[in-house]
Amino acid sequence: MEELRARIAALGVRLEELLQKLDLAGKRTAIAALEVEAADTSLWDDPQRGAVVMQRLTTLKTKTEGWDAMQHQLRDISDMAQLAAEEPDPTAFIDDITAQTSQLEGELDRAEMELMLDRPYADHSAVVTITAGAGGIDAQDWTEMLTRMYLRWAERRGFKAELLDSTVGEEAGFKNATVEIDGEYAYGYLLSERGSHRLVRLSPFDSAHRRQTSFAAVEVLPAIDEGAPEITIDPKDLDIDTFRATGAGGQNVNKVSSAVRMTHIPTGIVVNCQDQRSQLQNREVALRILKAKLLDLELRRREEEQAKLRGERVAAAFGNRDRSYVIHPYTAVKDERSGYETTDTNAVFDGDLDPLMEAYLRSQLTG
């Protein structure tokens, strides 16, 4: 019985810690403001705005009610355990209390994961761009390896993944590649991949087979649903060029100017797309990627403003080595931000990224 009571006490400490990070009071304030807005009949003069407000209100209520229910359940379990401890023979109650404790632990595990993913657009699909950095041909090969790794991760999770665009290297690999991964919370999980990835190995492209260090940068953007109101682009702000695509493709790909280069004049963001079959498809994909980049720019701006208000130092750029992959002279994958490390590099390259992602998310929650 003492062991069970200790388990319940630990569960209470864990719940209290998570509630402090949750800012339940702030969510209740937001709910009250949204309820006032929802009660205004003029809200539905703009149906899109009305739908956004009601969805946000429903989501916040569901979350707060879930945490309230867990607090009530924990109190009930604690009371039951106290009463059982006062009985001459508490064994008749232990099985029921143990079952309820296990159930609450499972609910708290799920709620904790949602809390780790509690950020704007976390539940959206994701657009991932991998770009070769220092390391020449090895870096381009490394970029292709990372692209395959993320495609395998999506396959493991049952997500739909599509290679939207790529620029093939002269000798091997990709100079850059863009993948869209369509699945619930894909963006939230893949934020752990944003940054610089370093590979250390014996180079297969060096005749002397010397050790080579290669880098690739990974950018993760939230995919925006078609017709969503988050980002609007004035056509006057776009400079669009067309050119002939290079590399593999359909029989038409190298014969006509089907590739598209789209420049957003106010920000200077440039997006290229050449892998689709027609210029129209390349335009559509380029515009989708551009909207994702503009949304990411806005989200980063908000994060920096919030960090300044909290008095935190705002980094000017990502570190030079957010994650290291070593396959010579030993095997290891280490995330420098969370400290998580594994020696099973083959599993990681085959898309087994969940432990790395969860460790990163936990480090952000506790940091």
pLDDT in tens, 258-303: 888 999 999 999 998 887 778 888 888 888 889 899 988 888 887 7
Distance CA 139, CA 215 (A): 6
Q: Provide the token pair at 235.
A: 């056509």
Strand order across the beta sheet in which 211-222 lies? 160-168, 174-182, 126-132, 211-222, 195-202, 323-326, 332-335, 341-342
Beta bridge partners of residue 199, listed in sequence order: 214, 325
Check residue 340 and give its pLDDT.
Answer: 96
pTM listed for this prediction? 0.72
Check residue 144 and give its pLDDT.
Answer: 97
Check residue 250 and give its pLDDT.
Answer: 42
Distance CA 100, CA 88 (A): 22
Query: Residues in the chain with pLDDT < 70?
Result: 225-230, 246-256, 306-320, 366-367
Q: Report the sign of the C-alpha dihedral through residues 288, 294, 298, 300, in that order.
A: positive
Please state, as a whole number, how many other Cβ atoms lie within 10 Å of the Cβ of residue 201. Answer: 20
Q: Report the sign of the C-alpha dihedral through residues 321, 322, 327, 328, in that order.
A: positive
Nearest to 335 by CA among 221, 223, 218, 161: 218
CA 317 to chain centre: 18
Check residue 56 and give its pLDDT.
Answer: 83
Helices (H), 158-229: 186-190
Beta bridge partners of residue 335, listed in sequence order: 323
Residue extents of the structural domains in the chain:
2-116, 126-223+323-366, 235-309
Distance CA 221, CA 340 (A): 24
Please state, as a whole number, how many other Cβ atoms lie within 10 Å of the Cβ of residue 220. Answer: 22
Q: Provide the token pair at 155.
A: 């396959």
pLDDT tens per residue, range 73-131: 999 999 998 888 888 777 778 888 999 999 998 888 878 887 788 788 888 899 999 99
Q: Give the architecture (CATH level 2) of 235-309.
A: 2-Layer Sandwich (3.30)
CA 65 to chain centre: 25
Nearest to 101 by CA among 86, 121, 79: 79
User: What fold characterizes domain 126-223+323-366?
Assistant: Alpha-Beta Plaits (3.30.70)
CATH top-level class of 2-116: mainly alpha
Check residue 24 and give its pLDDT.
Answer: 82
Burial class (CB within 10 angstroms; exposed 0-12, middle 13-18, buried 19+) of 280: exposed
